[in-house]
Amino acid sequence: MKADTTGQITDINVTPLVDVCLVLVIIFMVLAPFAMQAGIEIASTKMGAAKAETSLKENVSVLLDAKGIIKVNGKTVGWPELGQAITRALGTSRDKLVSLNASPDATVGQVVEILDTSKQSGAKRLAVLNP
C-alpha cells in the first residue's frame, strides 16, 4: 500500500472486483445449459430414404401450398381453425405424428407456426417432408 503525504491510501483495491467477476462467471456457467434447451425437435426426410406407406388415419398430414392455403388430412382449413383441426385429427392418430409437406415458396414463419401449433395441439412427433 502506498500512502501520500497526508496518510491516505491511494492504491485501488481490485479484490472486490475480482470476487464479483468470479461470481458472475459461476452464475453464467450454471445457467448456460438451460438456455440451450429451447426449440422444436423435428424429424426430416433424407434423400434416398425408404418411403413408408402410412394411412392418413394413422398420422396427421398437413399440406401448405405456395398461396398459404392449409389442408389437414385433405380438408382445407383456415389459419384460425388450424389448432382445432389438428387436435381433432390427432384424436384418431395412433402415433400422434404430424407430417408437414410445405411448398418451397412458403415462408419459414408459416412453417414454424404450423409446427408450433401442432405441438401445442398435442402432437408427440413432428416430421417435415420434402415436396
Q: Considering the domain boundaries, does residue 4 fall inside one? A: no
**Between residues 121 and 22, which one has the greater pLDDT?**
22
Residue 107 lies in a domain: yes
Instruction: Please indicate, yes or no, if residue 24 is contained in any of the structural domains.
Output: no
- Report the number of distinct structural domains present in the chain: 1
Beta strand extents in the chain (DSSP E only): 43-44, 60-64, 70-72, 75-77, 97-102, 125-129
Q: What is the dihedral of CA 51, 76, 112, 107, to 10 degrees?
A: 100
Segment 70-118, tens digit of pLDDT: 999 889 999 899 999 999 888 888 888 888 998 888 888 888 899 999 9
Residue 9, class by beta-carbon neighbours within 10 Å (0-12 exposed, 13-18 middle, 19+ buried)? exposed
